Amino acid sequence: MIESNVSLSCAWCAGGGDGTRAHLDENHSEHGLSPTGHLVVAVCLGFVGTVGFLNNTLVLILFCRYKVLRSPMNCLLVSISVSDLLVCVLGTPFSFAASTQGRWLIGRAGCVWYGFINSFLGVVSLISLAVLSYERYCTMMGATQADSTNYRKVAMGIAFSWIYSMVWTVPPLFGWSCYGPEGPGTTCSVNWACRTANNMSYIICLFIFCLILPFVVIVYSYGRLLQAITQMSRINTAVSRKREQRVLFMVVTMVVCYLLCWLPYGVMALLATFGRPGLVTAAASIVPSLLAKSSTVINPIIYIFMNKQFCRCFHALVMCTTPERGSSFKNSSKVTKTLRTVRRANGQNVTFAVASAGHPTIFAPNSGGQKSSSDGEKPSPAVGQGTNRPAVSLVAYYNG
pLDDT tens, residue by residue, 276-334? 887 888 778 888 999 999 999 998 888 777 788 888 888 888 888 887 665 444 443 33
Strand partners, 350: 342, 398
Q: Determine the pLDDT at residue 240.
A: 58
pLDDT in tens, 17-66: 444 444 445 444 445 788 898 999 999 999 999 999 999 999 999 999 98
Determine the Cα–Cα distance for residues 33 and 24; give it in Å rounded to an integer.
14
pLDDT in tens, 216-225: 999 998 888 8
SS3 assignment, position 83: helix
Domains of the chain, earliest start first: 2-319 (1.20.1070.10), 335-399 (no CATH)
pLDDT in tens, 123-182: 999 999 999 889 888 877 765 555 566 788 889 999 999 999 999 999 999 999 999 998
Percent of the chain topping pLDDT 90: 36
- CA dihedral (284, 290, 292, 296) in degrees, to 10, reads 180
Contact 391, 327 (CB under 8 A): yes
Average pLDDT over residues 240-260: 77
Determine the Cα–Cα distance for residues 103 and 91; give it in Å rounded to an integer.
15
**Sheet order of strands, 349-356 included:** 336-343, 349-356, 392-399
pLDDT in tens, 262-272: 999 988 888 88
Average pLDDT over residues 385-393: 45
Q: Determine the pLDDT at residue 391.
A: 44
Nearest to 24 by CA among 35, 40, 10: 10
Stretch (H or E) spanning 337: strand 336-343
Q: Determine the pLDDT at residue 29.
A: 44
Q: Determine the pLDDT at residue 322.
A: 81
Determine the Cα–Cα distance for residues 253 and 255; give it in Å rounded to an integer.
6
Give this prediction's pTM.
0.76
Q: Determine the pLDDT at residue 110.
A: 93
Q: Determine the pLDDT at residue 126.
A: 92
CA distances from 106 to 98, 169, 182, 185 (A): 9, 21, 14, 12
